[in-house]
């Protein structure tokens, strides 16, 4: 699977394009052949421990979870919709608080092993879980810097692996993961879950590729703006929830209060994570790559640790504890706060990674992809801007694709799913027919949904006549002010009631169950690697301060 930029010779990009729904993927083939096998009385044997116990013997994938923090928990909860497909007979976490939660929640929700799903064995050592348990696969939901360690450990032990994104905070570690996958032949899916989201898949397959409703996508923007409340460091646990220095240091952290702070706030540190570009940006930058089926040719970026400096955070954390101490009337809480103050006073760390990033990418695409008459030559540009902030949640997070015929906003947030037709584009009315229309028009919902100022909803609601006049272009203040775009929606049949991660997990577990290959995965390791390369280059661009080129070989393992 060699990647080359568009226009480079011997491009084999087509080999990795497994995202087109109508095509006969290996997964579809396996499903069909599996059904045929049952009908023919053939016995499908298990390659590992698949379904050796439990109520759905022979069907359930046995998965161990490594890392039961927020993300491990989210993946377990997302799998509540997949109870017939997967069980979690074991969980591992180095932190007892997470481990207690994992064991308790899995057992209580009957997602574990055993006849009634109530058995979940807990392991402080991930390695011990891999060795002792009869598993088919593992989920790796640890801090970024050990994704490779446990993914490779799992694959070498014969297990398929679902690793959280960003694949790693090191391109070299990510490359090692791909090589291990190739060597072992095990599955390695990376957790860029939008690739499995029915809404995103509809947009890619139907709206952009098949119908070409946006035409040539000339520009893409995306943002993830997170509030200060969601960006300040987490508390330093005390008492039974504190890790010993021995454990902290064994797993790469400092000891004492500083080590516990690092452990709880690993996303701040270069050693442990990829920063906000990994935590937030990776999802959306991956969508840039995925929707275009391309990787950028250049980047420049600005950003830095402007706000969450060590001085600021130390002052913020200590003052918050002092404020709570002054306010509380609870003797028990006051004692806890006094102990907490002694801990936070020792921490002087700020964000090592940038706390705000604004990055510009340049992509190149083939003219044939769009069928456009614009521009010149066979190679066309798509320029992209990405923004991630941690001091404001203004407009939250979404991706926006602007083409010559239309503009589309999409997000995991269901309120951001609009598509707008340019005045000169062909009519879309016929595409809104049938049970599964390509686009929808629901005028009753316009006031709610169309928030991106393509149509001025507040004016319309106040003075319809004035708004109609504005839309018709009769009250323009400038002769070249454009007419508002025609508002449509991404159709409601692409909505789903499951969690955002559920379809991506289903894709992985079904591929494990059906004994599929990397090509059946919606985000195989090589794709996750290429997004890692794209994202980690942002850090280089921030340090460099200028425009950096991506070389095609950077996207190869």
Partner 1 sequence: MKNPFIVASALIIPILVATAQDTDKSKWKDVGIDFPKPMFVGTPVAAKLPNLDKSKKPRLVLKAPEGAENLALDMEVTSSDPEPIIGDLEMICDGDKDGADGSYTELGPGKQWVQVDLEEEANLYGIVVWHFHKNARAYIDVIAQISNDPEFKTGVTNVFNNDHDNSFGKGAGKDLAWIETNHGRIFDVGSKKARYIRLLSNGNTANEMNHYVEIEVYGTR
**Separation CA 106–CA 274 (nearest Å):** 29
CA pseudo-torsion sign 204, 207, 208, 214 = negative
Q: Single out the residue of 227, 254, 387, 391 in contact with partner 1 (rule: CB under 8 A).
A: 227
Q: Is 501 a binder of partner 1 (CB under 8 A)?
A: yes
Choose the binding region for partner 1 from 119-127, 329-337, 378-386, 523-531 (rule: CB under 8 A): 329-337
Taking phi over 0 as left and psi of -120 to 50 as alpha, with beta for the rest, 524 belongs to beta
391 binds partner 1 (CB under 8 A): no
Residue choice 83, 97, 134, 367 for contact with partner 1 (CB under 8 A): 97
Q: Which stretch binds partner 1 (CB under 8 A): 20-28, 130-138, 163-171, 409-417?
A: 409-417
Indicate whether 109 belongs to the interface with partner 1 (CB under 8 A).
Answer: yes
CA nearest neighbour of 120 among 54, 74, 184, 59: 54
The DSSP bridge pattern shows strands 406-410 and 418-421 to be antiparallel
End-to-end CA distance of the chain: 9
Q: Which is nearer to partner 1, 274 or 406 (CB)?
A: 274
CB of 500 to partner 1, least distance (A): 5
Tokens 């598993």 belong to residue: 135
Shortest distance in whole angstroms from residue 332 CB to partner 1: 6
Q: Are strands 397-403 and 217-225 parallel, antiparallel or unpaired?
A: antiparallel
Q: Is 46 in the site for partner 1 (CB under 8 A)?
A: no
Q: What does the CA dihedral 71, 77, 81, 84 come to, rounded to 10 degrees?
A: 90
By CB under 8 A, residue 230 contacts partner 1: yes
Residue with tokens 């008492």: 239
Helix, strand, coil percentages in the chain from 3-state DSSP, rounded to 5: 45, 15, 40
Among 79, 105, 382, 417, binds partner 1 (CB under 8 A): 105
Which residue, 56 or 241, has its beta carbon nearer to partner 1? 241
Q: Considering CB under 8 A, how many residues would be counted as binding partner 1? A: 36
What stretches of 408-524 show up as alpha helix (H) in DSSP?
446-449, 457-462, 464-471, 502-513
Site string for partner 1, 237-276 (x = CB under 8 A): x---x-----------------------------------
Shorter beta-carbon distance to partner 1: residue 108 or 476: 108
CA 475 → CA 128, 466, 478, 486, distances in Å?
A: 72, 9, 9, 18
Binding pattern to partner 1, positions 282-321, x when CB under 8 A? ----------------------------------------
**In the bound complex, what is the minimum distance in angstroms from residue 366's beta carbon to partner 1?**
34
Q: CB count, 10 Å around CB of 236?
A: 25
Q: Give the footprint of partner 1 on this chain (CB under 8 A).
A: 70, 74, 77, 80, 97, 100-101, 104-105, 108-109, 226-227, 229-230, 234-235, 237, 241, 324, 327-333, 336, 393, 412-414, 497, 499-501
């Amino acid at each position: 699977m060699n990647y080359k930029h568009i226009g480079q010779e011997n491009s084999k990009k087509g080999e990795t394009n497994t995202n087109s729904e109508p095509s006969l993927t290996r997964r579809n083939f396996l499903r069909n052949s599996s059904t045929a096998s049952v009908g023919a009385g053939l016995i499908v044997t298990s390659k590992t421990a698949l379904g050796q116990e439990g109520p759905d013997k022979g069907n359930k994938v046995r998965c161990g979870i490594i890392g039961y923090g927020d993300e491990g928990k989210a993946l377990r909860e997302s799998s509540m919709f997949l109870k017939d497909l997967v069980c979690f007979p074991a969980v591992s976490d180095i932190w007892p608080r997470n481990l207690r939660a994992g064991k308790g929640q899995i057992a209580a929700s009957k997602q574990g092993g055993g006849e009634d799903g109530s058995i979940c064995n807990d392991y402080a050592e991930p390695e011990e879980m891999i060795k002792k348990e009869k598993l088919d696969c593992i989920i790796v939901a640890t801090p970024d810097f050990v994704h490779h360690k446990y993914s490779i450990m799992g694959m070498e032990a014969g297990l398929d692996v679902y690793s959280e994104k960003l694949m790693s905070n090191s391109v070299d570690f990510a490359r090692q993961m791909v090589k291990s996958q190739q060597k072992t032949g095990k599955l390695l899916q990376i957790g860029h879950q939008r690739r499995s989201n029915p809404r995103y898949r509809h947009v890619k397959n139907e709206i952009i590729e098949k119908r070409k409703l946006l035409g040539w996508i000339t520009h893409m923007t995306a943002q993830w703006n997170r509030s200060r409340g969601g960006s300040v460091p987490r508390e330093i646990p005390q008492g039974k929830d504190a890790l010993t220095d021995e454990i902290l240091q064994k797993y790469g952290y400092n000891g004492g209060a500083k080590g516990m702070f690092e452990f709880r706030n690993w996303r701040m540190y270069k050693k442990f994570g990829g920063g906000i570009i990994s935590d937030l940006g990776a999802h959306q930058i991956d969508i840039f790559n995925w929707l275009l089926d391309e990787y950028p040719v250049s980047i420049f970026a600005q950003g830095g640790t402007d706000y969450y400096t060590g001085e600021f955070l130390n002052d913020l954390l200590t003052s918050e504890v002092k404020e709570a101490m002054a306010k509380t009337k609870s003797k028990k809480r006051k004692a806890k706060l006094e102990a907490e103050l002694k801990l936070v006073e020792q921490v002087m760390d700020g964000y090592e990674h940038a706390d705000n990033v604004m990055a510009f990418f340049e992509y190149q695409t083939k003219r044939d992809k769009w069928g456009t008459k614009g521009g010149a030559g066979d190679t066309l540009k798509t320029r992209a801007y990405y923004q991630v902030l941690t001091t404001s949640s203004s407009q939250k997070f979404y991706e926006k694709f602007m083409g010559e015929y239309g503009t589309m906003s999409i997000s995991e947030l269901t309120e951001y799913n609009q598509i707008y037709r340019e005045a000169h584009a062909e009519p879309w009315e016929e595409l809104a027919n049938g049970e599964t229309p390509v686009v929808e028009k629901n005028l009753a919902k316009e006031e709610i949904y169309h928030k991106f100022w393509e149509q001025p909803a507040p004016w319309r609601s106040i003075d319809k006549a004035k708004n109609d006049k504005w839309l018709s272009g009769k009250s323009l203040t400038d002769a070249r002010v454009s007419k508002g775009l025609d508002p449509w929606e991404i159709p409601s049949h692409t909505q789903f009631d499951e969690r955002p991660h559920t379809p991506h997990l289903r894709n992985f577990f079904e591929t494990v169950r059906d004994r599929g290959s990397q090509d059946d995965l919606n985000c195989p390791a090589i794709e996750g690697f290429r997004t890692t390369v794209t994202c980690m280059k942002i850090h280089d661009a921030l340090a460099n301060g200028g425009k950096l080129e991506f070389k095609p070989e950077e996207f190869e393992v």
